[in-house]
Amino acid sequence: MSKVAEANGADAILSVVPYYNKPTQEGLYAHYCEVAASTGLPIILYDVPSRAGRGLADETVARLAEVRQIIGLKDAAGDITRPARLRALLGLDFRLFSGDDAVALAYFAEGGDGCISVTSNVAPALCRSMFLAWKQGQIARARRLAGSIALLTTALFRETNPVPIKYALSLFDLASPRVRLPLVELGTQSKAELANVLARLCAEYSESMIGKIGGSVRAGRRVAAG
């Protein structure tokens, strides 16, 4: 798959920890070395134990960081103390990205470089503004924006991702809410909660901010109207 991605113009590889087989740390190390040997593209590791059933140990990440093409980590382990530990092992050049929107701001505060985000698919301007506010030292603004993002993130994770994301994008005519089995479409209560949160955000923020969510303020008002 990495070879196909490279042949079709991909800029980099985001490679998830192998799931179901529950390999050892040595197996994970060997796996990623094999992926790196198959492509000339830079590689970001993706550690998501809740889905993969295995996590990358800090020491394994440090070993893999010595492989030239492996340049970063998408960290969805949910441990906000981890960036500080990894920095001591990896230095400043290796990129550390939160893979969990719920802890993104805390992850930045502990030394993370950014967030590979789910919520930003629906509200990219809000997520970017929060990140820039933090980088520019506007701590109060970053926290205020993080609070708004947290409301949306909570609504987006009531059911299995990407089901709520597709429904949210469908409200702005950007995607179909349909999913393939074994996933099913969002439940009625979750739909109402998500629509209400989106309507609140559309009412709270300026047109320039909301326009980048993926529709217009008019689209947001349509959400509010049901």
Edge-to-edge strands, sheet with 114-115: 13-16, 43-47, 70-75, 95-98, 114-115
Q: Going by C-beta distance under 8 Å and a sequence separation of 6 or more, which residues neighbour residue 141?
A: 133
Determine whether 189 is exposed, middle or buried from the number of CB atoms within 10 Å of its CB (0-12, 13-18, 19+): exposed
Query: In a 10 Å sphere around its CB, with 0-12 CB exposed, 13-18 middle and 19+ buried, how is residue 59 labelled?
Result: exposed
| Contact between residue 56 and residue 79 where contact means Cβ atoms under 8 Å apart | no
Q: Active-site residue 46, yes or no?
A: yes
Catalytic residue among 19, 22, 32, 74: 74
Catalytic residue among 19, 29, 32, 46: 46
E strands of the chain, at which residues?
A: 13-16, 43-47, 70-75, 95-98, 114-115
107 is catalytic: no
The set of catalytic residues is: 46, 74
